[in-house]
Amino acid sequence: MGFFFEVLIGGLLSGVMYSFVALGFVLIYKASGVFNFAQGAMVFAAALTFVGFQELGVPFWLALLLAFAVMVVLGILTERIVLRPLVNQPPITLFMATIGLTYVIEGLAQGVWGANVRGLELGIQDEPIQWLLEATDIGVSKFDLFGAGVAALLVTLLALFFQYTRIGRALRAVADDHQAALSIGIPLQNIWRIVWAVAGFVALVAGLIWGARNGVQFALTFTALKALPVLILGGFTSIPGAIVGGLIIGSTEKLAEVYLGGYVGGGIDSWFPYVMALAFLLIRPEGLFGEKHIDRV
Amino acid sequence: MFYREAGQFKTSYAADQQIFPITQDRVGVLLILAFAFLAVPVLFNEYWLKAILIPFLIFSLAALGLNILTGYAGQLSLGSAAFMAVGAFASYNFMLRIDGMPILVAFALGGLSAALVGIAFGLPSLRIKGFYLAVATLAAQFFIVWALTKFEWFSNYSSSGVITAQEIEILGYRFVSPEAKYLLVLAIVVLLALAAKNMVRSSVGRAWMAVRDMDVAAEVIGIRIMHTKLLAFAVSSFYCGVAGALYAFAYIGTVEPEGFNLDLSFKILFMIIIGGVGSIVGAFLGAAFIVLLPIALDVMVQEWLSGFLSPSISSNLQLIVFGGLIIFFLIVEPHGLARLWQIAKEKLRLWPFPH
Amino acid sequence: MSGRHIGDVILDLQNISLRFGGVKALTNISFDVREHEIRAIIGPNGAGKSSMLNVINGVYHPQEGTIVFRGQERRRMEPHMAAMQGISRTFQNIALFKGMSVLDNVMTGRITKMKANFLEQAIRIGRAGREELEHRRKVEEVIDFLEIQHIRKTPVGRLPYGLQKRVELARALAAEPSMLLLDEPMAGMNVEEKQDMCRFILDVNDQFGTTIVLIEHDMGVVMDISDRVVVLDYGKKIGDGTPDEVRNNPEVISAYLGVAH
């Protein structure tokens, strides 16, 4: 039983990591209706930029700030060059454009910083918490717990930002109805720039946590692929959905790998979340927390 | 030049419904076919045939398949490469396990296997749309590659799923030389392209486009949505499957499931975006573009920039150029090269008296 | 309207109720449609008129009530089956296939009548080719009838609104329907376009004997061309009868006509 809980907790905590990336998707989707496939590339680019600056001898906090600045610039450029000319295009066109954006960001980031794998040190070890292991025989990684804590903090910050600031209110208005928001004088393009900047920040945090765990490497872009089933499960428009979806995907994925993987030769975590999300979609096409859509004729 | 229809009056619906109603188009296509079949094998050297023309034709076929599904029926798929893998591995196994299996039949069976798998993964399209569906097709991409790697039966118990395609032999003739392989691939691609063209200009094609443009109205008119969508998945996967089989048998030779990864799926998607979504000729233009672009970039980097840039930069440059072009085409010409070609034709119809 | 005689009831709706979640769109509505007649459904915005049409051709499924079409009670019917039985329709907001030409749009109207399978079509010899020609001929008759020959090969997206409405009617007519449902066929048209559309509706009814159920806001038009009118308000039926009867129904006057149109 202890083993079951260890797997479950490990899964839940790694699910939090998926939620990080999913969160970036949700932010952009909510505000601009764009399904931003490039979120994974942004995670990669952010982490790589941070490490790159550190390698140049820039201290931790300044590197963090510089990486954030780069992500903001990236967001603004994306809004200006990609999104603005594509306003009013079908969502699927915008989605394909973000696939293109993915390639551009990956190419740029590797072109500037190089493609070799780097370590990233946040000062927290990926080892079980000793007293918990001794007391309950359940191994919980310190690092995973730290990641979960950061996630909780981030979600709280975002919630406060959306709820209580003027920009947050404008963001929610834009998410509800672009036209209506425009008509009461909310500058749509500013809002989009801010959202992309915030998504860039979320990508940076995700990139640091993921990068510290697995090394800063190209594989970080695949975090986007991990986040997609989370989104399907949680719905594209819901921040709690991203968190709950992440927890569900993370835990079932690990449990499935441990308890089912043996029968089929392992490695099922590449597709299991997708198949699960798919099965779920067939029952509830709008996701756990998504809004139901009725076709009108 | 002289691309003029003046004087070509159609006096029957049959004449108006020909596959290429304009005389110049008809002549043009015949010339291109004659050139491709007769002149190309003589004029081009082994490198061109093996490294450019054969992959170009094979990718055209895959892009054609995706275009049927995405361009005509409006269902975005990110799993084309996986269906190619099914075609390749199925053909390999039919050849391996059934004595005296004719290779062309094996290709067709490979395509049919891909079609069946396509139908299975197309089922969610009945409930979900847009990028929800796109994400669902990723399930196909990951699951198929995983299954082909993990279940060693598919690769006849070779390590990590690598297969070596059997030799192509038809009626005692062995297709070994690049010229022979090229001609075989060309013949298959031309036949399938004609079939695709016929389908999209018949009622099945109209049903696909109707579902793409407005599914509720399509249903009210009497189109069975489920049947129409699944047929699109099946036909599209068949094309991808045959392309996959040719990829293994006539191009690469030795393939592994990982070779049919998400990147390849994206590449095929890029071909139809750049070539033209919802256009048969677009699939060919897009494939040519994507096949030639990396080669052209490499040449340019070596010729002009070798002093400034390290060679490793060229792969990143490729990424940036690919991505940038996708965005560029989506913004500037969402109907791709095919639309540019059409505009050029319309201009030529009036040239040199544009008013 | 010479030579046309109104026949028996071919569509009978009894006690139809339709709800979306807690919202009642239609409450206990009964009315019938006779063969060859022009039957209008009128009512203020949100009265449930479009919902009524959607119930008739199977887009919506009412929770209660019975629908008898040509003597057969139907349970749950999908829209494409309604099309098979000869019910065609047009939509309030034009629902043409934007990426296709006028000709292709109208050709889709004959899809239920085309028998060749996709393999025959891919090879295009024998039945498939013949079929395309036969149906093309039929479609051209409709195109002639509605006077849209000159835009045959134009993509529908490029056409002005009035012509798009006409193409949509052509697509519905191409199916040679026995019953035609028209959802605000004249909305947003200028007077001349309205006159044209009226003429087409009357001609269709007269020449092909097509039964027509239409929703329309222009009261002048409705009173002129329809044989019988049913009036809805807030999802309930408040009047039913000839234009004269409806005009003089006090409940109708207060609910609808009182607000001059």
Q: For the segment C123-144, what is each residue's pLDDT rounded down to a tens digit?
A: 888 888 899 999 999 999 999 9
A296 located within any domain: no
> How high does pLDDT run on average in chain A?
84
Supply the pLDDT for residue B249. Answer: 96
Residue A267: inside a domain, yes or no? Answer: no
Closest-CA distance of chain B to residue C106, Å: 10
Range scoring the smallest mean pLDDT among A109-123, A193-207, C106-120: A109-123
Domain count, chain C: 2
Query: How many whole angstroms separate alpha carbon A187 and alpha carbon B312?
Result: 42
Q: Are residues C181 and C66 in the same domain?
A: yes
The Cα of A283 is separated from the nearest Cα of chain B by a number of Å equal to: 9
- Is the Cβ pair A297, C59 closer than 8 Å? yes
Q: Of B20, B72, B221, which to mutate for an interface test with C (greatest number of C Cβ within 10 Å)?
A: B221
Q: Which of A281, A185, A283, A270 is nearest to A226 (CA)?
A: A270
Does residue C14 lie within any of the structural domains? yes
CA C26 to chain centre: 19
Q: What is the pLDDT of residue C1?
A: 44
- Asked if residues B54 and B250 have their Cβ atoms less than 8 Å apart, the reply is yes
ipTM of the complex: 0.91
Looking at the structure, do residues C163 and C199 belong to the same domain, yes or no? no
Task: Inform me whether the pLDDT recorded for B349 exceeds 80.
Answer: no
CATH code for the domain of C71: 3.40.50.300
Angle separating helix axes A2-32 and A166-176, nearest 10 degrees: 80
Is C96 among the domain residues? no
Query: Is residue A178 in a domain?
Result: yes
C233: helix, strand or coil: strand
Predicted pLDDT of residue C249 = 87
Q: Residue C129: which of B198, B9, B345 has the closest Cα? A: B198
Domain ends where: C144, C174, C204? Answer: C174
Instruction: Kindly state whether residue C17 falls inside one of the protein's structural domains.
Output: yes
| Residues within 8 A of A (CB atoms), C 35-64 only | 50, 54, 59
Instruction: Say yes or no to pLDDT of B212 above 50.
Output: yes
Residue A290 gets which letter from DSSP? P
Report which of A46, A38, A99 is spatially closest to residue A69, judged by C-alpha positions. Answer: A46
Report how many helices (DSSP H) and strands (DSSP E) chain C contains, helices first: 10, 10
- Chain centre distance of CA A280: 21
Which of B17, B190, B220, B223 is the best substitution to test chain C (most C C-beta atoms within 10 A)?
B220
Cα of A254 to nearest chain C Cα, Å:
38
Residue B242 has pLDDT above 70, yes or no: yes
Question: Which chain B residue is nearest to residue A275, measuring alpha carbons?
Answer: B139
Within 8 A of B198 by CB-CB distance, chain C residues are 121-124
Which residues lie closer than 8 Å to B254 by C-beta, 6 or more apart? B162, B163, B164, B165
Return the structure tokens found at A39. 């979120």
Decide: B229 and B122 in contact? Cβ < 8 Å. yes
| pLDDT range class, residue B310, cuts 50, 70, 90 | low
Within-domain flag for A249: no
Tell me which of C122, C147, C174 is where a domain ends: C174
Q: Is the pLDDT of residue C231 over 70?
A: yes
Pick the range with the lowest mean pLDDT from A173-182, A279-288, B226-235, C202-211: A279-288
CB-based contact (8 Å) between A293 and chain B? no
Is C193 found in the same domain as C241? yes
The answer on C255 and C152 residing in a single domain is: no
Secondary-structure percent of chain C, ordered helix, strand, coil, rounded to 5: 40, 25, 35
Residues C235, C106, single domain; the answer is no
Q: What percent of chain C clears pLDDT 70, i.e. is strictly above it?
A: 96
Tell which phi-psi region holds residue C249, choosing left (phi > 0), alpha (psi between -120 and 50) or beta: beta
Phi, psi of C211 (to 5 degrees): -75, 135
Among residues 277-296 of chain A, which lie with CB inside 8 Å of chain C?
A: 294
Contact C20 A294 (CB under 8 A): yes
For the stretch A20-51, pLDDT in tens is: 888 888 888 888 778 899 999 999 999 999 99
Instruction: List CB contacts (< 8 A) between C50 and chain A.
Output: 297
Shared domain for C213 and C260, answered yes or no, is yes
| Average pLDDT for B33-47 | 92
Kindly report the nearest CA distance between residue A87 and chain B, in angstroms.
10
What is the mean pLDDT of the segment spanning B296-310?
74
| C-alpha span between B280 and A61 (Å, rounded) | 54
What is the extent of the structural domain holding C30?
1-86+177-261
Per-residue model confidence (pLDDT) at position B226: 93
State the pLDDT at residue A1: 67
pLDDT the model gives residue A30: 82
Cα gap B229→B210, rounded to integer Å: 11
* Averaged pLDDT for residues C201-206: 94
Contact by Cβ (8 Å): A243, A230: no
In this predicted structure, what is the pLDDT of residue A50? 94
**Bond into A240 cis (ω within 30):** no
Q: Does C193 share its domain with C229?
A: yes
C62 Rama class: left (phi>0) / alpha (psi -120 to 50) / beta: beta
Indicate which of A102, A278, A283 best probes the interface with B, i.e. most B CBs within 10 Å of its own CB: A278
Give the residue among C46, C49, C44, C56 at the shortest CA–CA distance from C14.
C56
Gap between the Cα atoms of C135 and C129, Å rounded: 10
Domain that holds residue A19: 2-218
Q: Are A265 and B150 in contact (CB under 8 A)?
A: yes
- Cβ–Cβ of A95/B262 closer than 8 Å? no
Q: How far apart are the C-alpha atoms of B170 and B100, rounded to whole Å?
A: 11
Q: So what's the pLDDT on residue B209? A: 96
Same domain assignment for residues C260 and C157? no
- Angstroms from B191 CA to nearest CA on chain A: 30
Overall number of domains in chain A: 1
Q: Mark yes or no for CB contact C83/B220 under 8 Å.
A: yes
**How would DSSP label each residue in C120-152?**
HHHHT-THHHHHHHHHHHHHHHHHHHTT-GGGT
**Contact: C54, A294; criterion CB under 8 Å:** no
CA dist A232 to A87, A226, A227, C70, C96, Å? 24, 11, 9, 45, 31
**Residue C47 belongs to some domain of the structure:** yes
Instruction: Please count the other Cβ atoms lying within 10 Å of the Cβ belonging to residue B179.
Output: 15
Choose among C154, C175, C167: nearest CA to C197: C167
* pLDDT (0 to 100) of residue C184: 92
How big is chain C, counted in residues? Answer: 261
For residues C42 and C219, the answer to whether their CB atoms sit within 8 Å is yes
Give the pLDDT confidence score for residue A290 in this predicted structure: 63
Q: How far apart are CA C167 and CA B116, in angstroms?
A: 38
Out of C125, C158, C174, a domain closes at C174
Nearest chain A residue (CA) to C94? A297
β-strands C38-42, C211-215 pairing? parallel
* Backbone dihedral region for residue C23 (phi beyond 0: left; psi -120 to 50: alpha; all else: beta): beta
Whole-angstrom distance, CA of residue C182 vs CA of residue C41: 10
Q: Is the pLDDT of residue B161 over 50?
A: yes
